[in-house]
A and B are shown apart, each in its own frame.
Chain A
Amino acid sequence: MNMFARRMRASAAAAVFCLSAAIPGWALADPMRVAFGDIATVESLHLLAALERAKEKGVDVQVTFLKSEDIAAQAVVSGQADIGVGGPYALLQKVKAPIRIFMQLSKLQFYPVVNSEAYKEWKDLDGQEIAVHSRGSGTEAIMKLMADKNGIKYSNISYVPGAEVRTGALLQGNVKATIVDSSGKRVLEKEAPGKFIFLPLGEVSATDEALFANTEYLQKNQKDIEILVESILTTWREVAADPKAAIALRDKYKLLPDATPEMVADIEPYFTEAAATLPLNGGGEDAARDDFEFYTISGALEGKPAELKVEDFWDLTALNAVLAKTGTK
């Protein structure tokens, strides 16, 4: 009998322990799990600040940083994350997943660049090798688009993932023609002024990063989504009006605590340059149309741009509600 009592006590203790571990989970509302497709850098500083603001307004935001955009998209598809950051157009079209984009965060901002010792302009790249991020990426689409516009053909396209890797390869001389991001551009201008020529780029307007979520999640959590969209729009407008605001936001919310001094020094130049193209109205239908044009060329989307339907890719409910409240800019 004594034995039995001891066992009962042990089971009761175990049950209480399990309950006490589980109750905090029930007591709180479900958190909003946001999955980034990349590590946090200066370029995501404003988004991190906007997430902090959404937290202040009562949305329990939990952020995870994943290795790539694909993984972030998979996390949303499988329900392990609620909101993903990226541009999952191919996924939306080919996998009939109930996922919709609900706001645009940034547009592609890339700079085709050549080593001036080898090339001077687009025409010089005819029959030459170039390097881009990866097959089917936005960087490849931009380079292909410009080749078409200039009536040239590359001999070969090699894939070197990471703008910073391509920047390094340019400086070392391993790559003579490639395309880099804005921080790569600044590095090139600083390290070897005049050695590299940035080639002119026509009008390219396409989503680089957007927020997307499961349709069911969007319907059930409309209020939280609206708070998030509003936080992002106000932060974006603030940073666009005054790029220095990004530094203030970093200090206020103690973001990127382990950023190196070079990264911190990069904040203001980055946002000064990004301010011009920062989407202040969350993209919406116009952005979707631009994306259809661009991503059908890049190969991420199939079909004719005019035949693609915005509602198959975007859910504008939350964005429109917020824009009605805050006005457009």
Chain B
Amino acid sequence: MHMAASPHKVGATGGAGSGSSSIVETLAEFARRRKSFWVVVSLAILFTAWEIAGRVPISFAFPTFLETLSALIEMALDGTLLPAYLITFQPLLLGVAVSAVLGIGLGIVMGLSDKAEWLLAPVFIVLQAAPMAALVPLVTFVYGIGLVAKTLAVIMLALPVIVLNSYKAVRHVNPSLVDMCRSFQGTRMQQIFKIIIPDATPVLFAGLRLGIAAGFIGVMLAELLITPTGIGDLITYHRSVANYAHMYAAVASIIAVSTLTLAALQYVELRFLRPEKRRK
């Protein structure tokens, strides 16, 4: 994946050709070679539509894309954005770390043992289907409004996803590999650690990635529903003083951070864990 392909590059390649038809050809060639071209086009269309919608305006409270962008740059430069992210990342990282360790552990146990599956699978299936936004405020009744409550909100969203994916990963391990291990008289321990877990790793990692995506949802729910801190505070505050461009900038920034994190994880996953899925 080449997320960083910039429009400048497109211009440079186009300019190198002779005449307008060759520019189109070069562009088409470029688009064929690099899928990221379409990412840039898609974003450009989105942002143009946003800019037009802001200029109409569709609502007095809807800022244009450029206003939002300048608000984002302003917040990044005056030092409000970075500390906010440091605060937001605390429950996020804690929650994701706990969910990852606990989730992969539980998932593997459930995948290996039928009894553990019967005991735990229904709980996590229900949890995954439950509308968490309705449950997050209930956490405050038990754990108050501090870091524990917010971390718990992240775990509530991330854990079921990670558990269920890990469980499926172990269940779908290639049976012929397990048979091979048995033919070579491998012990149960060898079977688990040398065959099952390595073979399940790609799917385990995919589950982790989905869990982190859910964790982002969890931390935003916590910061908007429990007490406003970090990015949630920026959103709430700028909404309450009607700085809508700043509010949208805060929302857009968390979307961007979440997307980039997931893209980076996907890159790692494809690069190191799933050679069969690589395009080239």
CA–CA, A93 and B239, complex, Å: 13
Q: A134 touching B236 by the CB < 8 A rule?
A: yes
Q: A134 touching B228 by the CB < 8 A rule?
A: yes
- A324 beta carbon closer than 8 Å to chain B: no
Q: B60 touching A135 by the CB < 8 A rule?
A: no
- B243 beta carbon closer than 8 Å to chain A: yes
Collect the chain B residues with CB atoms within 8 Å of residue A299's CB.
Answer: 241
Contacts A159-B233, A161-B228, A174-B144: A134 and B240 contacting too (C-beta < 8 A)?
Answer: yes
Return B162 CB to nearest CB of chain A, in Å.
Answer: 31
CA–CA, A134 and B144, complex, Å: 17
Collect the chain A residues with CB atoms within 8 Å of residue B243's CB.
Answer: 90, 94
**Cβ-neighbour of A78 out of B59, B227, B240 (below 8 A):** B59
Q: A96 touching B60 by the CB < 8 A rule?
A: yes
Return A218 CB to nearest CB of chain B, in Å.
Answer: 17
Q: A77 touching B233 by the CB < 8 A rule?
A: no
- B195 beta carbon closer than 8 Å to chain A: no
Collect the chain A residues with CB atoms within 8 Å of residue B144's CB.
Answer: 174
A residues 141-177 touching B (CB-CB < 8 Å): 159-161, 165, 174
- B167 beta carbon closer than 8 Å to chain A: no
- B65 beta carbon closer than 8 Å to chain A: no
Q: A95 touching B244 by the CB < 8 A rule?
A: yes
**Per-position binary interface string of chain B over residues 211-237, scored 1 when its CB falls under 8 Å from any chain A CB and 0 otherwise:** 000000000000000011100010011
B residues 26-76 touching A (CB-CB < 8 Å): 59-61
- B145 beta carbon closer than 8 Å to chain A: yes
Contacts A159-B228, A160-B145, A174-B144: A135 and B240 contacting too (C-beta < 8 A)?
Answer: yes
Which range contains the number of B residues in contact with the other chain?
10 to 19
- B255 beta carbon closer than 8 Å to chain A: no
- A101 beta carbon closer than 8 Å to chain B: no
A residues 245-302 touching B (CB-CB < 8 Å): 299-300
Q: A77 touching B60 by the CB < 8 A rule?
A: yes
Return B243 CB to nearest CB of chain A, in Å.
Answer: 6
In the complex, how many residue pairs between chain A and chain B have their CB atoms under 8 Å apart? 52
Q: A135 touching B233 by the CB < 8 A rule?
A: yes
**Cβ-neighbour of B242 out of A78, A90, A135 (below 8 A):** A90
**Cβ-neighbour of B237 out of A77, A94, A96, A136 (below 8 A):** A136
- A97 beta carbon closer than 8 Å to chain B: yes
CA–CA, A88 and B244, complex, Å: 14
Q: B241 touching A300 by the CB < 8 A rule?
A: yes
Collect the chain A residues with CB atoms within 8 Å of residue B239's CB.
Answer: 70
Q: B242 touching A93 by the CB < 8 A rule?
A: yes
Collect the chain B residues with CB atoms within 8 Å of residue A300's CB.
Answer: 241
CA–CA, A55 and B240, complex, Å: 32
Return A312 CB to nearest CB of chain B, in Å.
Answer: 14
Q: Name the CB-closest residue of B to A158.
A: B227
**Per-position binary interface string of chain B over residues 135-146, scored 1 when its CB falls under 8 Å from any chain A CB and 0 otherwise:** 000000000110
Q: A91 touching B242 by the CB < 8 A rule?
A: yes
CA–CA, A110 and B233, complex, Å: 23
Q: Name the CB-closest residue of B to A135.
A: B237
A residues 76-104 touching B (CB-CB < 8 Å): 77-78, 88, 90-91, 93-97
Contacts A77-B61, A160-B227: A95 and B240 contacting too (C-beta < 8 A)?
Answer: no
- A320 beta carbon closer than 8 Å to chain B: no
- A74 beta carbon closer than 8 Å to chain B: yes
- A205 beta carbon closer than 8 Å to chain B: no
A residues 163-219 touching B (CB-CB < 8 Å): 165, 174
- A234 beta carbon closer than 8 Å to chain B: no
CA–CA, A160 and B227, complex, Å: 7
Q: Name the CB-closest residue of B to A92.
A: B242
Q: Name the CB-closest residue of B to A300.
A: B241
Collect the chain B residues with CB atoms within 8 Å of residue A109's CB.
Answer: none
- A115 beta carbon closer than 8 Å to chain B: no
CA–CA, A137 and B243, complex, Å: 14
Contacts A135-B233, A160-B145, A160-B227: A95 and B60 contacting too (C-beta < 8 A)?
Answer: yes
Q: B236 touching A95 by the CB < 8 A rule?
A: no
Contacts A70-B239, A134-B237, A136-B241: A97 and B145 contacting too (C-beta < 8 A)?
Answer: no
CA–CA, A222 and B61, complex, Å: 26
CA–CA, A97 and B61, complex, Å: 8
**Cβ-neighbour of B240 out of A77, A93, A136, A165 (below 8 A):** A136
Return B20 CB to nearest CB of chain A, in Å.
Answer: 44
Q: B240 touching A97 by the CB < 8 A rule?
A: no
Contacts A134-B228, A159-B227, A160-B145: A90 and B240 contacting too (C-beta < 8 A)?
Answer: yes
Q: B242 touching A94 by the CB < 8 A rule?
A: yes
Collect the chain A residues with CB atoms within 8 Å of residue B61's CB.
Answer: 74, 77-78, 91, 95, 97
Return B44 CB to nearest CB of chain A, in Å.
Answer: 28
Collect the chain B residues with CB atoms within 8 Å of residue A90's CB.
Answer: 240-243
Collect the chain B residues with CB atoms within 8 Å of residue A88's CB.
Answer: 242
Q: Other than the known A136-B240, A161-B227, what 5 A-B pairs have Cβ atoms closer than 8 Å?
A: A77-B59, A94-B244, A96-B60, A134-B236, A299-B241
Chain B residues packing against A (C-beta within 8 Å) = 59-61, 144-145, 227-229, 233, 236-237, 239-244
**Cβ-closest 7 pairs across A and B:** A90-B242, A97-B60, A91-B242, A90-B241, A135-B237, A94-B242, A95-B60
Chain A residues packing against B (C-beta within 8 Å) = 70, 74, 77-78, 88, 90-91, 93-97, 134-137, 159-161, 165, 174, 299-300
What are 10 pairs between A and B in contact, CB < 8 Å?
A77-B61, A90-B241, A90-B242, A94-B243, A135-B233, A136-B237, A159-B228, A161-B227, A174-B144, A300-B241
